[in-house]
Amino acid sequence: MNNSKNKLKPNNSDIDKLQEFLVSGIREYMKIGFTRIHLGLSGGIDSALAACLAVKAAGPENVTCLNMPSRFSSQGSRDDAAALAANLGCHYETIPIEECYAALLSALKGIFRDLPFNTAEENIQTRIRGVLAMAYSNKFNSMLISASNKSEIAMGYCTLYGVDTIGVLAPIGGIFKSEVYALSRRINEVSIEGGGGEIIPQVIIDKPPSAELRPDQKDEDSLPPYDVLDPILDLYLCEKMSAEEIISKGWDRDLVKGIIKTVSWAEFKARQLPPVLTPPR
């Protein structure tokens, strides 16, 4: 990997080395006693990339993708997840969570009363998915991997005890969202250059990222755009610059202060996540 100045805009050689590092890391973790891998596949870019890396590490016959749609999951995301799994040739299972979700909302109705819908109801969904994914792990001795990236983890944009924060390993937890996009595009590019088709459906790469835990939700409702967030996180987390040093480079003071405040607050979440694969910087 080259220095920090180009890690968020890496060249093809850097991207290929990054992919090799992540795939090798997954293989190493499997040596603790797993021959299979599974993960939640939402139809978003993070889980799509995690699935691609898992297949490269373990082979498609040893990877299972679990699509666990809720009432807020778009049909497009369901279709995208199924298309990706078909392109990868891995196992694909759909486990709707509506029945579980409705039961938990009913159980909580006496406590929640008529309070408005908020993150409590949002997070119940991903925690249900976590329970189901762990049940699969226990039943089939399969290694559960999560799909949170470094940007989301740093900002606490993840659900404790949800499918995005549990498991044996967070293979993309050490790379920024910008790198997720770069690596996803590169996977398709290499496949097409080799005479195949795109692996990750282009619509997954192009659509605005969303957790789909409430209607019309987008990541940018809660986070700065990733092309703004990631460079600041890189300077703070990787280059170890202070707020004032980052601001001196031309970044907005309130923006920088707000991001650093959020990173400090979210540290308690990061400390409870599975191990991440952190590439050399």
Dihedral sign, CA of 88, 66, 124, 217? positive
Fold exhibited by the domain 4-219+266-270: Rossmann fold (3.40.50)
Start-to-end C-alpha separation, the chain: 6
- Per domain, the residue ranges of the chain are 4-219+266-270
**C-alpha gyration radius of the chain:** 19
Ordered per-residue pLDDT tens for the chain, 281 residues: 334 445 678 899 999 999 999 999 999 999 999 999 999 999 999 999 999 999 999 999 999 999 999 999 999 999 999 999 999 999 999 999 999 999 999 999 999 998 999 999 999 999 999 999 999 999 999 999 999 999 999 999 999 999 999 999 999 999 999 999 999 999 999 999 999 999 999 999 999 888 778 888 888 888 999 999 999 999 999 999 999 999 999 999 999 999 999 999 999 999 999 999 999 87
Find all residues with CB under 8 Å of 78, minimum gap 6, and list them. Answer: 43, 67, 69, 94
